[in-house]
Amino acid sequence: MDSREILEGIKRGERRYIAKAIRSIEAADSNSTAIIRELFRDPKESVRIGVTGPGGSGKSTMINKLAQKFDSESYKVAVLAVDPSSKITGGSFLGDRVRMQQLTDAKIFVHSIPSGEATGALSLALRDDIRLLEYAGFNLIIIESVGAGQTETDIRGIADVVAVVFSPNTGDGIQVIKAGLTEIGDIYLANKSDLRGASQLYDSLKYHLSFSGKEVLSISTKSGKGIGELFDVLTKIISDKAPTTAERRKLQLESEIRDELFSLFKNRLDEKLSVPENYKEFQKILSESKDPRQAAGKILKCIKF
Ligand SMILES: Nc1nc2c(ncn2[C@@H]2O[C@H](COP(=O)(O)OP(=O)(O)OP(=O)(O)O)[C@@H](O)[C@H]2O)c(=O)[nH]1
Ligand SMILES: [Mg+2]
């Protein structure tokens, strides 16, 4: 099947072609270049909601509820989950049959990206996946990203609105602040309000965010408490941010180009270092200096890109 056939299938609204295109993009196969070119020729827009937070805090459960709410309000909803299937909390989106069935019934498109493929720059493929879903007519895209390592700071460079989900059993407040999670959100959710310790979590978030003017909500994705309010607050933030979307997309594109450049440089560097004479030089510098930063600086000066 060629790229034209796939793109026509997507235009007819056939889901299996969307899945095919996503697979093609993620594998960077022979069709992907033509597909991506078409996405840039005929770009569409969506509202992108990023959801992050510690493992097991209830992100996927919350997204499941929220996606259905947006769907019932006539949005065309897609969910992209950077799949934390390798983690012990095991909240894999596609692995949860009940959750999946509810979303499929509502015609919500769900796709998981293995987290291994989304390191550092939250994967360049993820951004193309988003553009593809926009091209296919989805106008509200929810992105779940694991709240660990580099990725949670990157969600800012992709989403329009970021929600951070916490729960009483996912570590204390100090850890939360250290992780930098209190800087990236537009809205903070103290989830699992049905559990013990939930009100302390809510108070601690309120306290730490009191000067930021950001929203803190107490919710229970299990009982559904607070989901209506969450929807209202999110739609308010979305409409407040709508006038700055063009500016945001420009900055996002800039950061995407930087990531592309970084990836090109990295490949080029690997290539260069594997050339025997460069490797010899590398070893020589290493023998002269054990300070890695200094050595790296010297090596950078020697290698011609
Ligand atoms: N008691 C209670 N449990 C909840 C609530 N929301 C989610 N859970 C449970 O918490 C566990 C983790 O939920 P997930 O939605 O998979 O959490 P997650 O943040 O997506 O997890 P990862 O993707 O692994 O980081 C599951 O067993 C849920 O049933 C809630 O409001 N109350
Ligand atoms: Mg999850």
Ligand 1 probe mutation, 79, 89, 219, most atoms within 8 A of CB? 89
Nearest atom (ligand 1) to Cα of 221: 31
**86 and 141 part of one domain:** yes
Per-residue pLDDT in tens (0 to 9) along the chain, 305 residues: 899 999 999 988 889 999 999 999 888 889 999 999 999 998 899 999 999 888 888 998 999 999 999 999 999 999 998 865 544 344 456 666 666 677 777 689 998 876 654 444 456 778 899 999 999 999 999 999 865 444 555 788 889 999 999 998 766 555 555 566 777 899 999 999 999 889 998 998 898 888 888 999 999 998 999 999 999 999 999 999 999 999 999 998 888 888 888 888 888 999 998 999 888 888 898 888 888 899 889 888 887 77
What's the pTM?
Answer: 0.87
Q: Which residues contact 63 (CB under 8 A, 6 or more apart)?
A: 51, 79, 81, 93, 142, 144
Domain count for the chain, please give it. Answer: 3
**141 and 181 part of one domain:** yes
**How many angstroms does the Cα of residue 96 sit away from the middle of ligand 1?**
11
- Assess if residue 188 is contained within a domain: yes
**26 and 157 part of one domain:** no
**276 and 186 part of one domain:** no
251, 224 in Cβ contact below 8 A? no
**211 and 238 part of one domain:** yes
Range(s) of the domain holding residue 276: 254-302
Return d(Cα 62, Cα 66) in angstroms, integer. 6
**How many angstroms does the Cα of residue 232 sit away from the middle of ligand 2?**
23
**99 and 176 part of one domain:** yes
148, 177 in Cβ contact below 8 A? no
**30 and 119 part of one domain:** no
Q: What letters, b where the CB count within 10 A reaches 16 and e where it falls short, cover 91-126? A: bbbeebeebeeebeeeebbbbbbebeebeebbbbbb
**62 and 158 part of one domain:** yes
Taking residue 239's Cβ as centre, other Cβ atoms within 10 Å add up to 10
What CATH number is attached to the domain comprising 196? Answer: 3.40.50.300
**294 and 164 part of one domain:** no
**154 and 293 part of one domain:** no
Return d(Cα 132, Cα 46) in angstroms, integer. 11
**48 and 11 part of one domain:** no
**How many angstroms does the Cα of residue 292 sit away from the middle of ligand 1?**
42
Q: Whose CA is nearest to atom 14 of ligand 1?
A: 58
Structure token digits, residue 160: 């329009």
Residue 194 CB–ligand 1 contact under 6 Å: yes
Return d(Cα 60, Cα 144) in angstroms, integer. 7
**How many angstroms does the Cα of residue 41 sit away from the middle of ligand 1?**
40
**9 and 76 part of one domain:** no
Minimum-distance ligand to the CA of 147? 1
- Assess if residue 248 is contained within a domain: no
67, 137 in Cβ contact below 8 A? no
